[in-house]
Structure 1
């Protein structure tokens, strides 16, 4: 990032937020967009202002970051958070480097491999952090209780059947399909009964990983972090690898080329093998996938998106989804049973 091209602190929203924190309104900040917030990246701090969709997302993030204190998880130190006339805000330290999304297209194969190895180490450290078993973002708790759905991931194993019932209450639903889904879920729920929940980031893709000189300097944006089985982390990661175009950094941006992410699952398995070495892994990943698609089918406001979720659910019941293209998984003995 070339700070000489960045604007001075002349944005009123930014100035008011810095004043609320007690930080001087000096220096240069680079504006950055996002899906759920506006951000300004300065020399020392990053200031984010929420769009208000997710209740207490920043309070939850601050709680999660506090859990990381003293751990080996690379992350941005929390400075302050609060709410004001402009909405909720969160201030953290600035991490060195740029997002993985920005770095990846220009990195050579060796650098990409090194980045993924570093990511594997960061994830292993994250999943070892002691976590309250019921840790759930407030906005997600609201959604599970019947409120609005600002996001459709991460998966919540215990709430999967609830999404079938929610879909049954939606107009024009496919009753036969949902009946088959309910049976499919009940048959596979026992796979999760012995799991110990760990701290899962829940939204790990290129825009939420900071990289500098071929290593991960921080995992960012813990607004969706929760306690779930460790391999639930793979749901978003592998979805990103297979359908990278669905993960642009901003609503008007472009995602990466999925062909450039083909090696990522294999590299990640080499760096963090225990994340993948689960019995019935493919079936478990399909279970996480059906949760996400059910939530979309039940709650998304766009009927065309709901129809796409319907078709993906139907394919998944036949054992097919975006994971088919990942050779690392398609070769496992569990594939046919998923």
Structure 2
């Protein structure tokens, strides 16, 4: 890297970031084991594809923690650009996002691709995050919840039956490369188009419509997706047309049979992971209430139109 140049520091949820004219430097807290190594592997898979992304330059471990250097993409995050954009520009951005996702889901992916930190969580280590959904691990989250002191036995019995009844929905799925955490902070845009998808620390091999879990959650509950822990999310009312615009640009993503039930299943996985593994009792209690609502057919997807 050059010894001179201007770098602007930015905060994040897990990493500290320095944005330069040509390069972006990230320094991780180390909470997500081998996250940068995993991201470098995924970005290597994107080489030669039509997926807009930041080229990986180097990564490693230093005395201050894991670090990652990539090229600087033109533009700024969708979260930053969205409030001032007019409706036509917003639609163009989401249509460009649809094209980027279609290209991503066509990239050949190794069978069973999984972030190392998530594999650790499945093996019994602490959970640093509770998404993206992993269909094959859903019943295991029910069993993990059953090991909680004071768990709701009847609720979890109903959940286990609910999950078993729906596993057949995924029997014929072909896993694709899924970003796993797509929302306003992980999409870079410039002049009404997506210049890059960033932060592939949660990328994995899953059904393509797993991508919709975070996207639609972001549209319905944007306040829960600020760029930093002390920041503010976007105004949810400005995101109402996003699902419809995305459907128009990438209709295949929405054309799976029983899509609503599949999306409910992904939501159930996330709530189960929170209920079984989150360290804060009030968060676990809130997840339990949302699980009960899901069993009765209600969740954040109500009111979303695509």
TM score, norm. by length of structure 2? 0.99
Cα displacement (A) at 1:116: 0.3
Tell me whether 277-286 or 163-172 shows the greater mean CA deviation: 163-172
C-alpha RMSD of the superposition:
0.5
For the pair 1:85 / 2:75, whether they are aligned, the reply is no
For the pair 1:294 / 2:272, whether they are aligned, the reply is yes
For the pair 1:178 / 2:153, whether they are aligned, the reply is no
Q: Which residue of 2 aligns with 1:29?
A: 7
Q: Which residue of 1 aligns with 2:200?
A: 222
For the pair 1:235 / 2:235, whether they are aligned, the reply is no
Q: Which residue of 2 aligns with 1:95?
A: 73
For the pair 1:275 / 2:253, whether they are aligned, the reply is yes
Name the SS for the 2:83 alignment partner: helix
Q: Which residue of 1 aligns with 2:237?
A: 259
1:106 is aligned, of 84, 104, 108, to 84
Separation of aligned partners in 1, 2:295 and 2:166:
12
Q: Which residue of 2 aligns with 1:163?
A: 141
Alignment of 1:291-330 (within 5 A): 291-328=269-306
Cα displacement (A) at 1:24: 2.7
Q: Which residue of 2 aligns with 1:20?
A: none
Separation of aligned partners in 1, 2:265 and 2:161:
12
1:75 is aligned, of 53, 56, 59, to 53
For the pair 1:208 / 2:186, whether they are aligned, the reply is yes
Unaligned runs of 5+ in 2: none
Cα displacement (A) at 1:327: 2.8
Name the SS for the 1:324 alignment partner: coil
Cα displacement (A) at 1:172: 1.9
Separation of aligned partners in 2, 1:172 and 1:95:
49
Separation of aligned partners in 1, 2:263 and 2:277:
21
Separation of aligned partners in 2, 1:69 and 1:127:
14
Name the SS for the 1:322 alignment partner: coil
Residues 269-297 of structure 1 deviation map (CA, whole Å, 9 limit, x = unaligned): 00000000010000000000000000000
Q: Which residue of 1 aligns with 2:23?
A: 45
Unaligned runs of 5+ in 1: 1-22, 329-338
Question: How many residues are paired up?
Answer: 306
Cα displacement (A) at 1:170: 1.4
Greater RCO, CA 8 A, separation 6+: 2
| Runs of 4+ residues deviating >4 angstroms | none
Separation of aligned partners in 1, 2:48 and 2:93:
23
Cα displacement (A) at 1:135: 0.3
Q: Which residue of 1 aligns with 2:101?
A: 123
Residues 226-270 of structure 1 deviation map (CA, whole Å, 9 limit, x = unaligned): 000000000000000000000000001000011000000000000
